[in-house]
A and B are shown apart, each in its own frame.
Chain A
Amino acid sequence: MVATDEELVARSMAGDAESFNQLVLRWERPIYALAYRVIGRDEDARDVAQETFLRAFRALPGFKGQAKFSSWLYRIALNLCRDWIRRKKRTPVVEMPEDMDIIEMAADHGPVESIEDLVARNEMSRMVAEGMKLLPEEQRTAIVLKEYHGLTFQEIADLQGCPLSTVKTRLYQGLSVLRKYLESQGVTSFVSGQAS
């Protein structure tokens, strides 16, 4: 039976480092993905993810369990991302993986998807990444938390420390900017209303 986060946290707090490593294994990819989409650099996202778990481990005795463990991790990671953006004093630069290979991508997604589809998807991914760069950090983070991590409006509001209505406004504005950007890039099939 798989232990819950709460059980693993309790064991970790009792000194069982292996339980904490199970939590790391469970959450390292979501935290890395969050950092990558917010700051847009693979290496820096790895550093942020690594630092997130190190800080969480050190701060574990102070974790009282008022929030979910995942929310607590997200908060640490987002603070680190914010620090990174401030330190670098620049907007995130979304880099595509250097070794991105269409053939490799095709192999990843099975032979059912045609090369043309893969190229189109890769192009869409690149354009979305470019569009996300245009957004202010708060809007980008709100979209990332909502779209890729499935957080509720209230959870995002708690993480961002803002009212619920602000989260909805950030999402609406962010999506609208992305819509305009994609339309300017000639992507009409996606944003013309057929897709859902």
Chain B
Amino acid sequence: MSLKFSCDDKATLVAYLYNEVDAADRQRVEDHLRECLACEIEVGALSGVRSGLTQWAPPDAELGFAIIQKSVRKPAQNREPVQEPALTSASWWNTVPVWAQAVAAVLVLAVSAAIANVQIKSGPDGLVVSTGWMTPASATTAVAPVTAPAAGDQQWRTALIALEQQFREEIRTTRETGVVRAASRSGVDDATLTRVQALLAASETKQQRELALRMTQLAGDINVQRRADLLRVEQAIGHTGVEMARQGERLNYVIRAAGVPRQ
């Protein structure tokens, strides 16, 4: 290793630039920079480029990735579930609790029914379902009249029981084969809640700053406008004064020309 730093030793120069150089090399570079203007300018310029690089930031993207494991049923001889990883981006609906999703679904249904003016009536003709705003209640059109004769009560009960059993079976099957999300839900919810709170706090701060900024801008604009108005008024006053002086001179001239002594 030579004792003096050479201008061509760019590797050491870069190491010096990033402060990843030992004390001896640092001293060599600094001694050289005191003597070599070209290298001094280069180090300054590359440091400037590094400063410029700090200005480049990626978008403030909301990511929220999370591993969600699915259970997949193996063939009949081995019924233990196997783990199938899936990475999801935590969309907003993933962060909403299940009960809230259910309430939202019921609300949507209720609102839809209200908009469509759905009416369900039970009468001697059985169940009558009608929709639409324009049709008077007295003249409802039976969309799908379902007649349930009194003698058929037993049949209805049997059918309902069968339907209930079918639903229960389907729910049980879904639980066995479905995505195992509920188990990890509580842990995720805590983390999510913390993040949501942090996001809300950040949003609030941001809004306050934005408001402050806009107010500052508004105050600045008003100030500029006020100054411009004052300037205009001053100019107008000045102009009026000049005009009055000119009028006075004209009057004097007329008086002189008419030979009337001025009072």
* Segment at the interface with B among A71-79, A82-90, A145-153: A145-153
Q: How far is the CA of A181 from the CA of B51 in the complex (A)?
A: 15
Indicate the member of B65, B207, B209, B214 with the most A CB atoms within 10 Å: B65
* B170 at the A interface (CB under 8 A): no
CB closest chain-B residue, reference A29: B63
Q: Are B87 and A172 in touch, CB under 8 angstroms? A: no
* B197 at the A interface (CB under 8 A): no
**Which A residues are CB-close (under 8 A) to B10?**
168-169, 172
Nearest-neighbour CB distance to chain A for B40, whole angstroms, equals 7
Indicate the member of A108, A175, A179 with the most B CB atoms within 10 Å: A175
* B49 at the A interface (CB under 8 A): yes
**Which B residues are CB-close (under 8 A) to A194?**
44, 48
Interface residues on B, range: 35 or more
Residue pairs across A and B with Cβ atoms less than 8 A apart, 24 shown, are A36-B59, A42-B59, A42-B61, A50-B89, A53-B87, A54-B67, A103-B210, A106-B210, A106-B213, A115-B217, A128-B56, A143-B53, A147-B54, A168-B11, A168-B14, A171-B14, A171-B18, A182-B49, A189-B48, A191-B49, A193-B47, A193-B48, A194-B44, A196-B47
Q: Are A128 and B55 in touch, CB under 8 angstroms? A: yes
* A162 at the B interface (CB under 8 A): no
Q: Are A57 and B67 in touch, CB under 8 angstroms? A: yes
Q: A13-24 interface mask toward B, CB cutoff 8 Å, 1 = contact, 0 = none?
A: 001011011101
* Segment at the interface with A among B150-158, B184-192, B236-244: B184-192
Q: Are A46 and B63 in touch, CB under 8 angstroms? A: yes
Binding site for B on A (CB under 8 A): 15, 17-18, 20-22, 24-25, 28-29, 32-33, 36-37, 42, 45-46, 49-51, 53-54, 57-58, 97, 103-104, 106-108, 110-111, 115, 121, 124-125, 127-129, 132, 143, 146-148, 152-153, 165, 168-169, 171-172, 175-176, 178-179, 182, 187, 189-196
* B212 at the A interface (CB under 8 A): yes
**Which B residues are CB-close (under 8 A) to A107?**
206-207, 209-210, 213
**Which A residues are CB-close (under 8 A) to B131?**
none
CB closest chain-B residue, reference A47: B89
CB closest chain-A residue, reference B187: A18
Please pick, from B48, B57, B63, B213, the residue contacting A192 in the complex, using a CB distance under 8 A.
B48
Q: Are A46 and B89 in touch, CB under 8 angstroms? A: yes
- Contacts known (A103-B213, A172-B10); A179 close to B49, Cβ less than 8 A: yes
